[in-house]
Amino acid sequence: MGDLGLTDERDDAWSGRRVLLTGAAGLLGRAVTAELVAHGSTVLGLDIDWPTDDPDAETGLVRVPGDVRDREAVDRILREEAVDSVIHLAAQTLVGPALREPADTFSHNIQGTWTILEACRAQRRVARIVVASSDKAYGDASGRPYVETMALRPRHPYDTSKAAADLLAQTYAQAYGSPVAVTRCANLYGGGDLNWSRIVPGTIRSIVLGERPVIRSDGTFLRDYLFVRDAAIGTIALADQVGRRPDLHGQPFNFAAGQRLTVLEMVDRIVDLMGSPLTPRILAEPLHEIQVQRVSAARARRELGWRPRSTLASGLRQTIAWYRTYLAASPP
């Protein structure tokens, strides 16, 4: 297998492609950019919040400040930049803000998705589209592993916004023949996520600062965790395949590594890897989140030949190293 999860003879398939990547400044966006640029693509990175000081700036990336909901801007990029591939990651991704300001999350995540899909429908040059949904779109499956044939039954604002984006992508494939597929990734972690409320970056930052890490829940929430580079490789492999196989149009694919831990177990792993004596402070606040989430990636393994390359230990070591460097250069 090649680095992008493609067969060796197609591992250069992205050389020369021109890719519109929305949400390019985010955790997954950065990882997707790094993979595409390494394989010869030109990446037009559209993001509403490009940082002014970026330790991971990629050569080969053209930064495009802007709002994914701006149809005129999206049309202009697709037309003037001769874009042939679109990977739509832009979203409001935090559960807490989604609960407090649902309309803003619905606007970014749902309107942003239909704007991209409509713009692509008008520009027939676009040959492959991936829309990022989430495992949260499934809702509560009572602990059963999520598989792609399950109905989407979200109950909370963030989950509902991702399910709506997911269904929009399926609708455009069925109604208009759009060459679009959907990713549903497990919880991502990796260097570059500066949302300190998330358990992995927040825990690492606390330990670097000599503070006890904070767990907002009771620590028993169970999640599948996926290293961000593995998610990026899966996303790109799906984009390649959907441009070649009409039978994949409108189809969803789960991506997960089978690395399932409670929040407390994840914190303990990080503490151990960092050699810290600190113990977490458990707030046990009530959270409007799903208690147990398990994700099956059997379809991606079977139909795309994708597999995770990183163990939990190796992924966390790379992540910890990134934050140590970042926090040393940019102390709070």
Is 285 within a domain? no
256-291: pLDDT as tens digits:
999 999 999 999 999 999 999 999 999 998 777 889
Q: Could you give the CA distance from residue 25 to residue 54 in angstroms, rounded to a whole number?
A: 9
% of the chain residues with pLDDT over 90: 87
50-99: pLDDT as tens digits:
876 654 555 679 999 999 999 999 999 999 999 999 999 999 988 889 99
Question: Which parts of 200-283 are beta strand (E)?
Answer: 214-215, 222-227, 252-255, 259-262, 281-282
**Catalytic pick from 158, 172, 189, 225?**
158
Higher pLDDT, 19 or 2: 19
Q: Could you give the CA distance from residue 215 to residue 219 in angstroms, rounded to a whole number?
A: 6
Q: Is the pLDDT of residue 18 over 90?
A: yes
Lowest mean pLDDT among 59-63, 91-95, 207-211, 323-327: 59-63
**Which CATH number characterizes residue 304's domain?**
3.40.50.720
Is 54 within a domain? yes
Is 110 within a domain? yes
Q: Is the pLDDT of residue 5 over 70?
A: no
Is 180 within a domain? yes
Q: Are 253 and 299 in contact (CB under 8 A)?
A: yes
> What mean pLDDT do residues 151-160 have?
95
Is 152 within a domain? yes
Whether residue 172 lies in the annotated active site: no
The pLDDT mean for the chain works out to: 93
Tokens of residue 188, six digits:
């991502």
H or E element at residue 188:
strand 187-189
What's the pLDDT score for residue 95?
84
Q: Is the pLDDT of residue 301 over 50?
A: yes
Q: Are 287 and 223 in contact (CB under 8 A)?
A: no
Total of domains in the chain = 1
Supply the range of the domain harboring residue 135. Answer: 8-189+226-257+294-309
Is 86 within a domain? yes
| pTM score over 0.75 | yes
Residues contacting residue 310 through CB under 8 Å, at least 6 positions apart: 227, 229, 230, 257, 318
Is 284 within a domain? no
Is 13 within a domain? yes
Confidence of residue 201 (pLDDT cuts 50, 70, 90): very high
